[in-house]
């Protein structure tokens, strides 16, 4: 994965397998017309709506965050003015998997 200029790897930190283990994972894939969309952005906001982190999607259209237990908002921004928000609940040992059609 390449660096997107803000210190975070494109697509987020790699997850060795689908098992979250001791982490709470929020991840997803952004697609347009069924194909992975690179260059979209996923932003993680806490329960108060404060910005926590952002990653750009890579060639596979993926993003991933490791979060604390609790309520979060994932805001996805893409070309052509696409913007969507998803309310999620993160829990240690579980993976929240979002499928985004931009």
Domain range annotation of the chain:
24-101
Protein fold of 24-101: Immunoglobulin-like (2.60.40)
Provide, for the chain, the percentages of residues in helix, strand and coil under a 3-state DSSP scheme, each rounded to the nearest 5.
0, 55, 45
Q: What's this model's pTM, rounded to 2 decimal places?
A: 0.81
Contacts of 36 (CB under 8 A, 6+ apart): 29, 30, 57, 59, 60, 61, 62
> pLDDT per residue over 41-98, tens digit each?
999 999 999 999 999 999 999 999 999 999 999 999 999 999 999 999 999 999 999 9
- What pLDDT score was predicted for residue 21? 77
Q: What is the tens place of the pLDDT at every residue in 18-56? A: 456 788 999 999 999 999 999 999 999 999 999 999 999
C-alpha to C-alpha distance for 46 and 36, rounded to whole angstroms: 26
């Amino acid at each position: 994965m390449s660096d997107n200029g803000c210190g975070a790897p494109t697509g987020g930190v790699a997850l060795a397998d689908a098992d979250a283990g001791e982490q709470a994972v929020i991840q997803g894939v952004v697609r347009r017309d069924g194909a992975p969309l690179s260059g979209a952005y996923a932003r993680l906001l806490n329960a108060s709506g404060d910005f926590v982190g952002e990653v750009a999607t890579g060639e596979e259209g993926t993003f991933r965050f490791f979060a604390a237990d609790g309520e979060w908002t994932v805001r996805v921004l893409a070309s052509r003015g696409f913007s969507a928000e998803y309310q999620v609940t993160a829990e240690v040992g579980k993976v929240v998997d979002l499928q985004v059609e931009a």
